[in-house]
Chains A and B, each alone.
Chain A
Amino acid sequence: MERRDFLKSTIIAVAGAAVPMAALQLVNPKKVFAANPDLQWVFLVDTNKCVGCGMCVKACKAENEIPYEADVTRTWVERYVVTRDGKMLADSPKGARDGFTSQVIEQGEAGPVSPKPEDITKAFFVPKLCNQCDNPPCVQVCPVGATYKTPDGPVLIDRTWCIGCGYCVMGCPYGARFFHPKYHVADKCNFCYHRISNGMKTACVGACPFGARQIGNLKDPNDPVTKAIMEQRVGVLKSEYGTKPQAFYIGLSKEVC
């Protein structure tokens, strides 16, 4: 072999080895489309509009067969009261299924607290529901493949496949999961998947008289919810967990967790 030929083939071999494996991989159209669906459900909560009536919780329970008396609910409303001395009081009696009608705030072992009206610096209500995370920790921990993320966003539970181990209930950092008192499997909000898939609004969105709750399609640039998320100052809950929540909040305060 001549010196010239040796150098030539060496350069070709090095250049060839430098091409990454990924460059030789064929693009799978099915995978690309699956990663870019034209429908992605998102939720928008305007906490400034919420008055804590709990109509959303009532409608949600009726729509999703959660017994009214049961201490579990797919959506709930929290009350936050900050007093002049910097103390934060928060509660959600029975998930606010009957709304907030009393100034008394239950604080567990500390007992009920009733701050004087002149001591309250700010007080507000925050509706909560499943965030349908893009990186759902509840799905990762399911040992049997009973819970999964749909192509259009919501995380669903296969009631015939759930074994009731409760890992997902513990895995959710938002406390959105519980055991369904009737079906005895894990349950949580799924943006009323049976309603939104058939052209209806979720029960809580429909029941809210004040427009504090909205649902929309993030892939539609003309959707009012998408516009609000793009143009307004919105926040998500517990972003530090890296779950990529798909429920956005307007008017979130640092007290809310």
Chain B
Amino acid sequence: MKNHVWRPLQVVIVLVALILVFRHFYVPKDFGIQDQGYMYGFHRLGNEKEWKAMKASYKFDGNEYCKGCHEDKVKSLMASPHKMIPCEDCHGPALDHPDNPPKLQIDRRRELCLRCHASLPYPTSGRHVIPGIDPFGHNPGIECVNCHNPHNVSLEGMK
């Protein structure tokens, strides 16, 4: 064969070899077709473990963890119509509390209460059975917790 055929062929062979060597070192050993088959299971197996080992931030165990130290608070909440609201919804993520963070950031904003208590005229949704206010007519600009106690929501319990 002539030289002008050999030269490019050698270049191509060297390139392919380089790519294969690079691929050998770059692609992890556990990467490939796993049990779920080629179409849905082509991945690095170790990634499943990485996801499982990821750190969570919320506890959400039905307030059992909170009760360990704040039994009085959990008890008063459980006696109120707000009993279905998990502590962490308003008090923030508390998985490692009291180590991290030592003090939780309580969301006392009016906007938090309005998520449920802004009146919407939707008789076919669950929203209808929740007591609602007009956000612009009912003491606008004032935080709800100034008058209402979220742990004891009866109007007699108002501050």
Which residues of A approach B to under 8 Å, CB–CB?
A: 30-31, 34, 48-55, 58-59, 62-63, 81, 98-103, 117, 120, 122-125, 136, 139-140, 145-151, 156, 158, 160-161, 190, 192-195, 197-198, 200-201, 203, 205-207, 209-212
Contacts and interface: CB of A to CB of B under 8 A. Distances in A.
Given A139-B39, A207-B60, A48 B126 contact: yes
A51 B51 contact: no
A59 B126 CA distance: 21
Contacts of B85: 209
A140 B122 contact: no
B153 to A, nearest CB: 13
Given A55-B89, A59-B89, A103-B120, A156 B115 contact: no
Interface residues of B, number: 45
Contact of A101 (B31, B54, B61, B118): B118
Contacts of A52: 115, 120, 125, 127
B44 A99 contact: no
Contacts of A55: 89, 115
Interface of B: 31, 34-36, 39-44, 47-48, 51-61, 84-86, 88-89, 92-93, 111, 114-116, 118, 120-127, 130, 135
B93 A209 contact: no
B36 A149 contact: yes
A203 B115 contact: no
B55 A145 contact: no
A98 B44 contact: no
A145 B44 contact: yes
B122 A193 contact: no
Nearest to A202: B60
B47 A156 contact: yes
Given A117-B121, A149-B41, A200-B60, A209 B114 contact: no
B51 A190 contact: yes
Given A53-B116, A206-B58, A147 B43 contact: yes
Contacts of A59: 58, 60, 88-89
A209 B36 CA distance: 36
A51 B116 contact: yes
Contacts of A207: 58, 60, 86, 88-89
A194 B60 contact: no
Given A207-B88, A210-B84, A49 B43 contact: no
A209 to B, nearest CB: 4
A123 B128 CA distance: 10
B62 to A, nearest CB: 9
Contacts of B31: 145
B39 A140 contact: yes
A35 B151 CA distance: 49
B84 A209 contact: yes
Contact of B36 (A99, A151, A161): A151
B47 A158 contact: yes
Contacts of A203: 56, 58, 60
